[in-house]
Structure formats: structure tokens, C-alpha cells
A and B are shown apart, each in its own frame.
Chain A
Amino acid sequence: QQQVKQSPQSLIVQKGGISIINCAYENTAFDYFPWYQQFPGKGPALLIAIRPDVSEKKEGRFTISFNKSAKQFSLHIMDSQPGDSATYFCAAGGSGSARQLTFGSGTQLTVLP
């Protein structure tokens, strides 16, 4: 019940295209859903996060869409750039779990120039 399922495992997008990564969760106690970006050899860096009281959050080219009833959330990267090439992890956390995060399995995004 603690799992967060992420897809696709890898994604190749042309420069300027839209990258979409999806995640699904089971535990309804989760109330915080961040996305992390990780470059090789680096730690995960927070990209954007959402709470279940909103259905969408946008920051620059990055948008999270959240569907509480379906227990799904997704990351959309608009106008994808080669510099966006990285591994993206969704995660979920809850105030009742000492704020620990459960991560998805990651999506390796490659944006072709």
C-alpha cells in the first residue's frame, strides 16, 4: 500500500515537445506529492510539488496534474529542452509518516536537440 507506481520507465522527446510522466499511488494518507529531478551523480532536486486540495499546479514549464479520485498525478514538461534530460522521480508523503517520502521507480527522460 506504500507503493508509488511510475511510468514510463524511459521517454524520448524532441526539443520543444511535451514530456508527460505518470504516477499512481494506493495510500490515501498521502497528502504531499513532489517531483524530483536527478542528474547523474547528483542528489534528487525538488522540481515542483502539489497537495491534494488542488488539481493542478504550474511553475514555468512544469505542471503537475492531480486526480484525487483516481489516485494519480502526472508531470508535464512543456517546450522540453535538451537540458531537461535527466531522471525524474515522483514521490508521495504524508504528515502521519514523519514526512518520509515514498519514491516511484523513476523515468529517464531524453530530449533530443
Chain B
Amino acid sequence: EPEVTQTPSHQVTQMGQEVILRCVPISNHLYFYWYRQILGQKVEFLVSFYNNEISEKSEIFDDQFSVERPDGSNFTLKIRSTKLEDSAMYFCASTTRGISGNTIYFGEGSWLTVV
């Protein structure tokens, strides 16, 4: 079964440092997402990306965050200057506009620890 792959699986970074989380969505998918989950809490939407631009973003996705699709396969989330409260599991997800409609597939996540 096709899957969304994410790297790194775990990253520890110092507060104030820049972090880039990488994702390879499922190849024929058109919508891409980043979600985050703080330990023990619910999954929260960050941003959606379609046709090489941001479609929607949440209040969490402030100026410190950016997304990019630098080539035809990778989808990245950059946090410019990390804060302690950015510590969370970050999930990439993707979907297609096919018959399955809104079936959104999630990667296994990148666990970010800011110290």
C-alpha cells in the first residue's frame, strides 16, 4: 500500500534554531498537509497546500512557519526560530481528488523536541 514517508523520525534542536521537516507524499496525490500533535493531545491542523500554494492555514501557522514543495516529490515544513512550545509530533498527510474523496493518509510523524 502506498504511504506517506517523513524524515527525520526524531529531531532534537536548541531553542531559536531553524528546523526543516521533510515529507514525501503519495505520488498521485494533489493536496498536502501538515498537522501537529502535542504529547497526549489531539491532532491539530497547521496548513494545507495545493497547486503549489497554501490553501488554508490555522492560527498556529504563524510567520515562523513556512512550507515548500521544492521538487515534484518532497514537501517540507520549516520552523524558522523554534520555541519550546513547538515540541510536538508533526504529521505530513496527503490526499487526492479521486473517488475516495477526502481520504487523507498520514505519515508516521516527525517528533520534534526543542530544548
Which residues does A use to contact B, with CB under 8 Å?
32, 34, 36, 41-46, 49, 51, 89, 91, 93, 95, 97-106
Contact = CB atoms under 8 A, between A and B. Distances in A.
Nearest to B31: A99
Contact of B33 (A34, A51, A89, A100): A100
Interface of B: 4, 31, 33, 35, 41-45, 48, 50, 55-56, 91, 95, 101-109, 111
Contact of A100 (B41, B48, B91, B108): B48
Nearest to A4: B42
B102 A93 contact: yes
Given A32-B102, A43-B107, A100 B42 contact: no
Nearest to B102: A32
A103 B50 contact: no
Given A89-B42, A98-B56, A99-B31, A42 B109 contact: yes
B102 A34 contact: yes
B53 to A, nearest CB: 11
A51 B107 CA distance: 24
A44 B31 contact: no
Q: Tell me whether chain B's interface is mostly helix, strand or loop, or mixed.
A: strand
Given A32-B102, A43-B91, A104-B42, A98 B107 contact: no
Given A46-B105, A98-B55, A103 B91 contact: no
Contacts of B48: 98-100
Given A32-B101, A98-B56, A43 B45 contact: no
Given A43-B108, A43-B109, A44-B91, A99 B102 contact: yes
A45 B104 CA distance: 9
B42 A43 contact: no
Nearest to A105: B42
Given A43-B91, A44-B91, A93-B102, A101 B45 contact: yes
Contact of B45 (A44, A102, A104): A102
B22 to A, nearest CB: 15
